[in-house]
Structure 1
Amino acid sequence: MEYLFSDRVQTLKPSAIREILKSATAPGMISLSVGNPAPEAFPATEIGEISSQIFRQRPIDALQYNVTEGYPPLRRTLTEYMKERHGAGREFDDLLITSGAQQVMDLATKSLCNAGDVVICEAPSFIGSLNSFRSYQVRLRGVPMESDGIDLTELERALREEPKAKFIYTIPNFQNPSGITMSAEKRRGVYELAKRFGVLILEDNPYGDLRFAGEEIAPIKALDEDGLVIYAGSFSKVISPGMRVGYTLAPKPIVQKMVVCKQGEDVHTNIWSQLICEEFLTKYDFAAHLERIRGVYREKAKLLLQLAERYLAPDITWEPIEGGLFLWCRLPDDIDMVDFCRKAMERKVCVVPGNAFLVDETQPCQSFRINYTAPADEQLTKGIELLGQLAKELRTK
């Protein structure tokens, strides 16, 4: 039987990260590749308590269908949270609960883009979102990153040269994969360019609550007086990725279309998970929980940077980090990055090659991504040591 696939999916490739994950689970492999939170950051005891209470007192609420827009008390709580915590949300906005923040990217593209439209994104950027955009046959235009965020000069050039651009996709806090945080000045600059050229901004912020150093910066959505910003938030990094609860705060007409699209995808987000999130936000000390997991990541990052100085420097350099899950490492020009990543896997250390995050994976890239939050300290120590040894051996050759 010959299978004829749709035009939309014929050119899609498997996620490079998901393919690497297959090797990451091999016996004896030290996985520095996954984007997983630290296991010790999960509030497992509290989730167990909440679940038990739900099934004792109101089991049908957790087991029955619910509305597509999301569990109403959770929507109200998150709307208030976004206003109080981030100064975001206006009368023209509405909030939709999604199956993880990844679904926001899918629903936004499905609602707004036709085949041949353009999505402008940071280069590098998160491969999961890039593949969501590609699945709708849009063309991606990458804009290079600087140490304080997207290059505004190149962004303006891209907007001028791409009249079919529908939105700018950005991860302003601890960007995946680079770890870079966009400055307040650049956030204002991105917003002003979007306003001038009449395009939307898709602001993806899964890591913002994981800041363990430096000054917090308000999201671009806090600047939104014109209905230009679609904000994507998530509980994946602060409660549990397996629960698949995210949300979007966006102009009401856009949310209305996203709701219709979501009805055809999954009817509604897992209601049991939504109930847990609502209870955790309102009945437990969420602020104290965030402080606890920031402390976990602060200590893990401290260990990582000590290891990097000991084993990776000076051959491998990296971007500084003040939060998030990743370290973005750059190899010297005389080491082939793809070959380095392949040889690292042969030594049972798995990292993500940097070209997986590019709009065009064939473009040259000297960087790779490390996740430091998921592995145990002894695994992280051994993995960084092996990467440093490999870099020194390749330089010697």
Structure 2
Amino acid sequence: MNYSFAERMTAMKPSIIREILKSSSGQSVIPFAAGNPASETFPLEAIRTFTTQILADHPVAALQYGVTEGYDPLREHLLEHLQQRFGIDTTGNSLMVVSGAQQGIELACKVFCNEGDTIICESPSFIGSLNTFRTAGVRLAGVPMEQDGIHLEQLEHALQTEHNVKLIYLIPSFQNPTGITTSAEKRKAIYALAKQYNVVILEDNPYGELRFHGDDVPTLKAIDTEQLVIYVGSFSKVLSAGLRVGYVLAPDEIIQKMAVAKQGEDVHTAILPQMIAHKFMTEYDYEGHIQLVRDVYRRKSDLMRRSLEQHMDASVAYTQPDGGLFLWCELPPNMPMLAYCKQAAASGVAVVPGNAFLVNESEPCNALRLNFSTPSDEQIVRGVEILGQVFTQQQQELAASNTEL
């Protein structure tokens, strides 16, 4: 049969990251391409104990349908946590639990954007969100990144010239894929532009608790005096990615619309994982666990950076994030990035080519993303050593090619 698929699917492509992971499944490939939390940070015994307790004490509540907005005890505690941890004034805002932060991003797009509307985003940016926006038929306007966040002049130019801008999508803290943190000064300037042009900010903050160097920077939601910010958070990087528990804090009217849209998708987020998350926050040493996770990522990030200093050519530049899961490496202009990534994979190291994160994947890009949370310490050292060897091989091949010419 010849299938007639929806036009929206023409904009969808398989995730390069997922395809890399699938192709390397079961093989001894060092996983610098993944974005998974470190498995050693999972509180396995606590999750096992909490699950047993919940099913013993509240089996019906855990296994029955629930309200769309989420498990009330978890919602109430999250509101308190956001106020205390991030200084967010929740007055006039509601919180909804979603099936992972990705769903919160998708719902925000669904309730604000018609086909042909524009979302302004950082470029590069998280490929999962970019594909979500593409599926909705939205036009993406990418604004390049600087060392302290999105380029302000080009952001304002996009706000002035793009058609029907509905959202500004940002990952201000330890951005995926670059690891860059937007400065406090730039966050204030971004917010002022959003206010001036009357555009909603979609703040994606899955790594907000994972700062391991330096001082915290206020979230955009913490400076939101005009009800302009939709804030998306997640338990994926601090508890378990597989439980699929995220949350959205936004003005009441927005959450009401998002709840209606969610009802048409999955009715509500699974209750058992929400109850586990609630116990994790209220009956476990939550702050101690967060510190443990930070310590793990500090060690792994520092180890990867030291290994890059030792094994990688000095012409390769890379970011030095203060938190999160990723480093962004810029190869010299004469080095063919895709050929380098393919050779790295053939040599046993999976990396993600940087163009996968661009709004326009055909634009020139000589960067790649490295993840330090998933691989073991031994894999980090060995993997970077291999990347350095591949770089040397590529340089030699380029030199030989130029000599022949």
Q: 2:384 maps to what in 1?
A: 384
Q: 1:275 maps to what in 2?
A: 275
Displacement, 1:262?
A: 0.5
Q: Deviations over 1:65-124 (max 9, x none)?
A: 111100011110111111111121332211000000000111011111000000000010
Match for 2:234: what amino acid? S
- 1:169-248 equivalence runs, <5 A: 169-248=169-248
Q: Is the 8 A contact 1:315 1:391 kept in 2?
A: no
Distance in 2 separating the partners of 1:358 and 1:56: 48
Q: 2:318 maps to what in 1?
A: 318
Q: Is the 8 A contact 2:341 2:353 kept in 1?
A: yes
Distance in 1 separating the partners of 2:382 and 2:223: 44
Match for 2:208: what amino acid? G
Match for 1:74: what amino acid? L
Q: 1:367 maps to what in 2?
A: 367
1:90 aligns with 2:90: yes
Q: Deviations over 1:362-397 (max 9, x none)?
A: 111010001111111111111111100010111122
1:166 aligns with 2:151: no
Q: 1:25 maps to what in 2?
A: 25
Q: Is the 8 A contact 2:79 2:90 kept in 1?
A: no
Q: 1:155 maps to what in 2?
A: 155
1:303 aligns with 2:331: no
Percent sequence identity over aligned pairs: 52
Q: 1:133 maps to what in 2?
A: 133
Structure 1 range deviating more: 289-298 or 231-240: 289-298
When the two structures are aligned, how many residues end up with a matched partner? 397
Displacement, 1:174?
A: 0.4
TM-score (norm 1): 0.98
Displacement, 1:26?
A: 4.2
Give secondary structure in 2 for the equivalent of 1:115: coil
Q: Is the 8 A contact 1:90 1:225 kept in 2?
A: no
Q: 1:122 maps to what in 2?
A: 122
Q: Is the 8 A contact 2:94 2:252 kept in 1?
A: yes
- 1:250-269 equivalence runs, <5 A: 250-269=250-269
Q: Is the 8 A contact 2:121 2:168 kept in 1?
A: yes
Q: Is the 8 A contact 1:24 1:33 kept in 2?
A: no
Unpaired runs of at least 5, structure 1: none
Q: Deviations over 1:11-43 (max 9, x none)?
A: 311111111111231412111100011111111
Q: Is the 8 A contact 1:79 1:89 kept in 2?
A: no
Q: 1:53 maps to what in 2?
A: 53
Q: Deviations over 1:221-241 (max 9, x none)?
A: 011111100000000000000
Q: 2:11 maps to what in 1?
A: 11
Q: Deviations over 1:250-302 (max 9, x none)?
A: 01111111101101111111110000000111111211111111111111112
- 1:72-111 equivalence runs, <5 A: 72-111=72-111
Distance in 2 separating the partners of 1:24 and 1:209: 30
Match for 2:15: what amino acid? S
Give secondary structure in 2 for the equivalent of 1:122: strand
Q: Is the 8 A contact 2:313 2:391 kept in 1?
A: no
Distance in 2 separating the partners of 1:297 and 1:365: 27
1:286 aligns with 2:273: no
Distance in 2 separating the partners of 1:198 and 1:105: 19
Q: 1:332 maps to what in 2?
A: 332
Give secondary structure in 2 for the equivalent of 1:188: helix
Give secondary structure in 1 for the equivalent of 2:289: helix
Q: CA RMSD in A?
A: 0.9
Unpaired runs of at least 5, structure 2: 398-405
Distance in 2 separating the partners of 1:114 and 1:305: 43
Give secondary structure in 1 for the equivalent of 2:242: helix
Match for 1:295: what amino acid? D
